[in-house]
Amino acid sequence: MSLDKTSDFYIPPNQRLIVALDVPNIYEAKSLVDKLGSTVEFYKIGLELATTRDYFDLLNWLTNQGKSVFADLKLYDVPATVSAAVRQLRDTGATFLTVHGDKSIMEAAASEKGDLQILAVTVLTSMDNEDLKQMGIGLDVEDLVLERAKLAISSGCDGVIASGLEVQTLRQTLGNEATIVTPGIRPADSSVIDDQKRIVTPKSAFEDGTNYIVVGRPIRNAIDPKSMAETIQAEIAAAI
Ligand code: C5P
């Protein structure tokens, strides 16, 4: 992985916090980025902004300022369409792109990725064993996550999105070179109660072996977002 500062895989602590820009428009997105200033270097822009006309303007605006961008578009279509979409996206300057974890989709994305890093969504965290049964899948969520994660790496993807509760097993199974990105993070002293059920602290996610965490509401809704981001980065630096 990336803990050894001399390793090619080393990632500095302030690059390991990805802030989720889950806001309805480019104005609110830019306002939060401006508030966070030089503290935050990595942003995730997903489907909410992708359904505005300004998605690629925002992506360009971020990369022009030297920020890294995670395009969380969760692509899912026939392989030819996924390849074509990845071909278009690889020149935008984004660092990460998500696709769903079906073999043909992951292979199609990987075949056109260029410098873009493809992360697979193994099983959406909103799905449980009952949902899988309805889809005719006989495996438990945990087993399916593991199978799809292995498939992601053998299909040429760079890594996976994993909840904090799965990181340790995935790191042991996938080895050190796979990238793991973990959402559903709540700071140790967080009193926020919301829809995220499978939450872990930044410290435990990094101790278990994640490479990056995605944090939205704890920073966005903080009274002082910049200071909250700094607190989380300090927790990351202490854990790695
Ligand atoms: O506000 P919060 O910190 O919960 O935001 C988490 C971000 O990570 C959101 O953008 C959400 O869509 C995303 N995400 C998630 N769980 C997943 C995959 C993505 O919370 N399994």
> What integer pLDDT is reported at residue 237 of this predicted model?
92
- What separation, in Å, do the N-terminal and C-terminal C-alpha atoms of the chain show? 11
1 belongs to a structural domain: no
Q: Best mutation site among 22, 23, 131 for ligand 1, i.e. most ligand atoms within 8 A of its Cβ?
A: 22
Token digits for 194? 């919301």
Tell me which residue range forms the domain holding 116: 13-231
238 belongs to a structural domain: no
CA distance linking residue 70 with residue 10, whole number of Å: 18
Write the pLDDT tens digit of every residue in 11-64: 888 899 999 999 999 999 999 999 999 999 999 999 999 999 999 999 999 999
> What integer pLDDT is reported at residue 196 of this predicted model?
62
Cβ proximity of 168 and 179 under 8 Å: no
**CATH number of the structural domain spanning residue 102:** 3.20.20.70
132 belongs to a structural domain: yes
Does 188 have pLDDT greater than 80? no
3 belongs to a structural domain: no
CA distance linking residue 137 with residue 71, whole number of Å: 29
Q: Phi/psi class of residue 175: alpha, beta or left (left: φ > 0; alpha: ψ in -120 to 50)?
A: left
Apex CA 38: angle with CA 65 and CA 205, to 5°?
Answer: 110
74 is catalytic: yes
Ligand 1 center to residue 6 CA distance, Å?
Answer: 31
User: Is residue 217 exposed (0-12), middle (13-18) or buried (19+ Cβ within 10 Å)?
Assistant: middle
Residue range 199-211: mean pLDDT, rounded: 93
Going by alpha carbons, the residue nearest to atom 11 of ligand 1 is 183
Ligand 1 center to residue 231 CA distance, Å?
Answer: 19
| Residues constituting the chain | 240
Going by alpha carbons, the residue nearest to atom 2 of ligand 1 is 216
182 belongs to a structural domain: yes
239 belongs to a structural domain: no
Write the pLDDT tens digit of every residue in 69-112: 999 999 999 999 999 999 999 999 999 999 999 999 999 999 99
Ligand 1 center to residue 214 CA distance, Å?
Answer: 7
Total domains in the chain come to 1
> What integer pLDDT is reported at residue 191 of this predicted model?
60
> What integer pLDDT is reported at residue 195 of this predicted model?
62
> What integer pLDDT is reported at residue 198 of this predicted model?
64
Write the pLDDT tens digit of every residue in 162-182: 999 899 999 999 999 999 999
CA-wise closest residue to 93 among 43, 160, 157: 43
**What's the gap between Cα 19 and its chain centre?**
10
4 belongs to a structural domain: no
Options 5, 30, 35, 74, the catalytic residue = 74
Other C-beta atoms lying within 10 Å of the C-beta of residue 64: 9
5 belongs to a structural domain: no
Instruction: Extract the runs of DSSP E, i.e. beta strands, from 183-230.
Output: 212-215
Other C-beta atoms lying within 10 Å of the C-beta of residue 46: 19
Instruction: Look at the block and give the residue holding tokens 């299909």.
Output: 155
CA-wise closest residue to 174 among 158, 191, 196, 150: 150
